[in-house]
Amino acid sequence: MKAAVLMEKDRMEIARIPRPEVEEEGVLVSMTQAAVCGTDLKLIRSGHRDLSLPRILGHEGMGEITASRHPAFQKGDRVAIYPGCFCGDCPACRAGHTSRCETIRIYGFNRDGLFRTVIPFSAKEVSSLVRIPEKSDPGVVLAEPVACCLSALGRFRYLEKTTALVVGAGAVGSLFTALLLAEGWKTVLVADRNPRRLSSGLPRGVRTMAAGTGGLRECLERDGWGGKIGFLVPCCPSGLDWPFWEVMRPGGGVSFFSGRGRKTEPLALDADAVHYLGLTLAGSYGCDRKDFVFAASMLARKRLDLSFLDCCRVSLSELEAGLDRLRNGRIRKVIIDRF
């Protein structure tokens, strides 16, 4: 069978690896779909805090149980795969925050990932599997990025759903936008410095703004949004590198959702503005299993319709060509649907 292995920085290979055996109380999952995201590109190009090599990539995917020695799973069950392997027992896990598990291993980062034909799960690891209905919408493959958005949004549930601003119209920016609209935010603005990214692949009802982070404040003020942004989500590394506090409404929220890449300078921030405006700033990284379960069930039943997203479908062997299209920014998402 095949696997996409990152051997070293910038060198990914489609390798032949032995088919796994099913362990006692374990299962085998044959992959049906996996999605490639910007983080995978980043891993290949420049590594990541949580990456060790060589590594089979992939942290977004779903499959079918093809062998089971575990009482809770049967051959034929469809599953979405939560990308964290957590202990279930530490204080964070017990509080439901599996993404902060003391010993978490992340598929495609520090544990082999989902870009392979068949994946073995041990008795300990089956807690990463979330059963979904047999006739689930294929959009379930995006449960992980949607769950990351839900996880970030979960820290701001108290906000009045006025005007939200998403900075960066890549795949995650587009998904976050869809989620905000679905949750009833009155106005959702999405800004990107690349006007082409604003011309397609976004949900209906969003308002677009072509502006780099440098000129974003001016654009917002010119269009009458100064002081009116109730919720700000950066969905690109430079999403907070501008005086964003100047456009926030009192009591607004700012999600520290995207990492800032390899920046050497710490973020400049007007602490007095945060103080006087009573802003809430909250970080978020990854997603808890409960967010993933919620996202998978929402997508399986098409309660969040992501058909607007521009995707291309490839086989695992064609992954490199798919990555190129992603690098060129021609599409937002690559789905592997043949393994």
Minimum distance of Zn ion from residue 86's CB (angstroms): 5
Residue 77 vs 288, nearer CB to Zn ion:
288
Residue 2 vs 100, nearer CB to Zn ion:
100
Structure tokens at 52: 């060790």
- Of 10-18, 30-38, 110-118, 193-201, which segment contacts Zn ion by CB under 5 A? 30-38
**Alpha carbon of residue 114 to chain centroid:** 15
Contact pattern for Zn ion over residues 57 through 96, marking x by CB under 5 A: -----------------------------xx--x--x---
Minimum distance of Zn ion from residue 264's CB (angstroms): 25
Minimum distance of Zn ion from residue 83's CB (angstroms): 8
334: contact with Zn ion by CB under 5 A? no
- Sign for the CA dihedral angle at 315, 312, 235, 233 comes to negative
37: contact with Zn ion by CB under 5 A? yes
Kindly report the number of other CB atoms within 10 A of residue 1's CB atom.
15
319-327 and 38-46 are packed helices; what angle lies between their axes, rounded to 10 degrees? 100
Minimum distance of Zn ion from residue 38's CB (angstroms): 7
Minimum distance of Zn ion from residue 274's CB (angstroms): 29
Angle subtended at Cα 194 by Cα 189 and Cα 200, rounded to the nearest 5 degrees: 65
Minimum distance of Zn ion from residue 104's CB (angstroms): 7
Cα–Cα distance for residue pair 330/178, rounded to 1 Å = 20
**Strands 163-167 and 229-234, sheet pairing:** parallel
33: contact with Zn ion by CB under 5 A? no
41: contact with Zn ion by CB under 5 A? no
Residue 40 vs 77, nearer CB to Zn ion:
40
Minimum distance of Zn ion from residue 92's CB (angstroms): 6
For residue 40, the SS3 value is helix
Cα–Cα distance for residue pair 142/161, rounded to 1 Å = 24
Identify which of 101, 83, 88, 69 has the alpha carbon closest to the alpha carbon of residue 39. 83
Residue 26 vs 145, nearer CB to Zn ion:
145
What number of chain residues touch Zn ion (CB under 5 A)? 7
Q: Which of residues 161-200 bind Zn ion (CB under 5 A)?
A: none
Q: Which of residues 263-292 bind Zn ion (CB under 5 A)?
A: none
Residue 114 vs 248, nearer CB to Zn ion:
114
**Alpha carbon of residue 237 to chain centroid:** 14
Minimum distance of Zn ion from residue 13's CB (angstroms): 21
Cα–Cα distance for residue pair 88/297, rounded to 1 Å = 21
151: contact with Zn ion by CB under 5 A? no
| CA-only gyration radius of the chain, Å | 20
- Structural contact between residues 88 and 105, judged by C-beta atoms closer than 8 angstroms: no
Minimum distance of Zn ion from residue 134's CB (angstroms): 25
Residue 39 vs 174, nearer CB to Zn ion:
39
Identify which of 129, 215, 206, 127 has the alpha carbon closest to the alpha carbon of residue 173. 206
Residue 37 vs 167, nearer CB to Zn ion:
37
- Of 35-43, 200-208, 244-252, 269-277, which segment contacts Zn ion by CB under 5 A? 35-43
Kindly report the number of other CB atoms within 10 A of residue 203's CB atom.
21
39: contact with Zn ion by CB under 5 A? yes
101: contact with Zn ion by CB under 5 A? yes
Cα–Cα distance for residue pair 305/66, rounded to 1 Å = 29
For residue 241, the SS3 value is coil
Residues near Zn ion, by CB under 5 A: 37, 39, 86-87, 90, 93, 101
